[in-house]
């Protein structure tokens, strides 16, 4: 076997080979599984191409396992999928392991494709293995492993994808202009693979992306968002965003981010390039979280700086209010990028609006009141906010960064101390509106809100302790001020 498979993977491939031989159809393992196995990456997704009917082969393979997996098939596309769980391959060779994972296997008949210029949906006809490899996006995804009896396990690599893997090089099997024009999403995939694998896009291939970037407009926003999110979740997402920017794709799909690029100087005073600062913040946060939405907060934390930029004589560049305006921009950007308009969006908006709050505490004598309000306002998102703010400390001056990080650690410790004594994260007020209404026989009205807010502010300002008795006594006194209960 050319690739290094586990015993379970080899067991499955031999079953597929047996079914293909019974049907007299040539059969190959192709694409991402082959690539990732050679790279030593974990994968459980297998793509099988046969010179024949892929749906029939899928049913034949499924019948060889017990319990027999369900075959999901799509007649219009000639594709089928089965999931082989560990319960289907456990035997004397593979005793029960407690692993409930599965292998996802997709079957398709070899085909060739032709495209209409206005669409990325191809016209498909039956083809050979060569035709099928020609239609693949990149040479590293066109490699196949034979599952046929006479050459089982041999590599079929007409475009020398193995050399591109060794060189960490991304290029298309056919002319890149044709490959990308046929399916413009492949431009995003090229940048995504370069980011995930830390590969270089071959010069002519990247030039083709820049040349026909406008073709990305025929791709649905949902498909673009899917590729964009995979870039965001990469180990070093700045690679992908830099490539998107330099290719011109980013200006088409996310112009607000491109507006961050560049630095302006007046009287020798300039500001940092907020695009590359944003990429640095994103890279800083990546090792600390796989949370997609926290990473999006890093991307959007300074998104309103271009709209708020002003030069003040004798002071320099300012971006007053960019956090508030940035928060208001988040829902529109999420809608534009086909990202969810739910709690995930609200989380990102909250962090964008609050991202200056913890850092501002490093510049002043921290009062307990300021810390309480930060804890109260951040609530369950406090840790995420602090992770974002730490990542936002960037400078070419390493000593300056370390000084800010040390100050920031002091803020963290102070927050931990106040939280331990006051328990304000996920805080529920000790006196509710219902208690206020029942105590004074009030209907729901403005006075109830005034009393409730006064109790909250008194606790946050340290005037009273965060408990029922203190809050109840304060409620009585506040009601008297308002002429209630006399």
Please identify which residue in the block is written with the tokens 């206005």: 118
**pTM listed for this prediction:** 0.89
Closest CA to 309 of 352, 262, 254: 262
Identify the burial level of 18 via C-beta atoms within 10 angstroms of its C-beta, where 0-12 means exposed, 13-18 middle and 19 or more buried: middle
User: With contact defined as beta carbons under 8 Å apart, do 55 and 107 qualify?
Assistant: yes
Identify the burial level of 413 via C-beta atoms within 10 angstroms of its C-beta, where 0-12 means exposed, 13-18 middle and 19 or more buried: exposed
Q: Kindly provide the b/e burial profile for residues 208-239, where b requires at least 16 CB atoms within 10 angstroms of the residue's own CB.
A: bbeebbebbeebeeebbbebbbbbbbbeebbb
Ordered by where they begin, the domains of the chain are 7-167 (3.30.460.10), 175-253 (1.10.110.30), 433-481 (no CATH)
Identify the burial level of 315 via C-beta atoms within 10 angstroms of its C-beta, where 0-12 means exposed, 13-18 middle and 19 or more buried: exposed
The pLDDT assigned to 391 comes to: 94
d(CA 441, CA 433): 11
d(CA 305, CA 322): 5
Helices (H), 236-367: 238-247, 249-253, 255-258, 274-285, 292-300, 305-308, 322-336, 343-354, 357-360
The pLDDT assigned to 286 comes to: 96
The pLDDT assigned to 426 comes to: 65
The pLDDT assigned to 98 comes to: 57
User: With contact defined as beta carbons under 8 Å apart, do 238 and 279 qualify?
Assistant: yes
User: What is residue 144's three-state secondary structure?
Assistant: strand
Kindly give the interhelix angle for 322-336 and 292-300, rounded to the nearest 10 degrees.
120
Q: What is the block-wise mean pLDDT of the chain (486 residues), using blocks of 10 residues?
A: 91 96 97 96 94 96 93 91 85 60 92 74 83 95 97 97 97 95 96 98 98 96 98 98 98 98 86 95 96 98 97 89 98 98 98 93 78 89 94 85 84 85 74 91 90 90 89 91 79
d(CA 53, CA 146): 17
């Amino acid at each position: 076997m050319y690739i290094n498979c586990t015993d379970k993977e080899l067991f499955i491939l031999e079953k597929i080979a047996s079914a293909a031989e019974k049907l007299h159809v040539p059969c190959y393992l192709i694409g991402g599984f082959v690539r990732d196995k050679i790279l030593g990456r974990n994968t459980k997704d297998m793509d099988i191409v046969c010179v024949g009917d892929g749906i029939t082969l899928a049913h034949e393979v499924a019948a060889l396992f017990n319990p027999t997996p369900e075959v999901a098939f799509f007649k219009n596309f000639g594709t089928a999928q089965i999931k082989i769980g560990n319960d289907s391959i456990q035997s004397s060779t593979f005793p029960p392991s407690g692993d409930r994972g599965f292998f996802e296997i997709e079957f398709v008949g070899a085909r060739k494709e032709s495209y209409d210029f206005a669409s990325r949906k191809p016209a498909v006809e039956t083809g050979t293995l060569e035709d099928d490899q020609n239609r693949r996006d990149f040479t590293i995804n066109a490699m196949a492993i034979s599952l046929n009896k006479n050459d089982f396990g041999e590599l079929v690599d007409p475009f020398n994808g193995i050399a591109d893997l060794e060189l960490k090089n991304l290029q298309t099997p056919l002319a890149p202009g044709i490959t990308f024009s046929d399916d413009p999403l492949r431009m995003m995939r090229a940048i995504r693979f370069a980011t995930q694998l830390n590969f270089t896009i071959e010069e002519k291939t990247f030039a083709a992306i820049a040349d026909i970037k406008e073709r990305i407009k025929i791709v649905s926003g949902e498909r673009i968002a899917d590729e964009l999110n995979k870039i965001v979740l990469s180990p070093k997402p700045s690679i992908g965003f830099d490539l998107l920017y330099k290719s011109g794709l980013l200006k088409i799909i996310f112009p607000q981010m491109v507006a961050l690029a560049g630095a302006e100087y007046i009287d020798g005073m300039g500001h940092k390039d907020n695009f590359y600062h944003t990429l640095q913040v994103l890279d800083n946060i990546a090792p600390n979280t796989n949370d997609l939405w926290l990473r999006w907060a890093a991307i959007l934390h300074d998104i309103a700086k271009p709209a708020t930029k002003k030069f003040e004589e004798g002071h320099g560049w300012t971006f007053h209010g960019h956090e508030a305006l940035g928060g208001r921009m988040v829902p529109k950007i999420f809608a534009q990028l086909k990202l969810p308009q739910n709690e995930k969006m609200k989380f990102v908006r909250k962090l964008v609006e609050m991202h200056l709050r913890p850092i501002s505490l490093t510049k002043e004598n921290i009062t307990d009141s300021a810390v309480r309000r930060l804890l109260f306002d951040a609530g369950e998102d406090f840790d995420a906010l602090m992770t974002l703010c730490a990542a936002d400390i960037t400078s070419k001056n390493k000593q300056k960064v370390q000084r800010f990080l040390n100050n920031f650690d002091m803020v963290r410790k102070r927050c931990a101390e106040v939280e331990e004594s006051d328990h304000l994260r996920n805080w529920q007020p000790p006196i509710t509106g219902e208690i206020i209404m029942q105590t004074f026989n009030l209907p729901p009205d403005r006075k109830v809100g005034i009393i409730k807010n006064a109790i909250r502010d008194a606790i946050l300002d340290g005037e009273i302790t965060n408990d029922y008795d203190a809050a109840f006594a304060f409620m009585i006194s506040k009601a008297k001020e308002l002429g209630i209960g006399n």
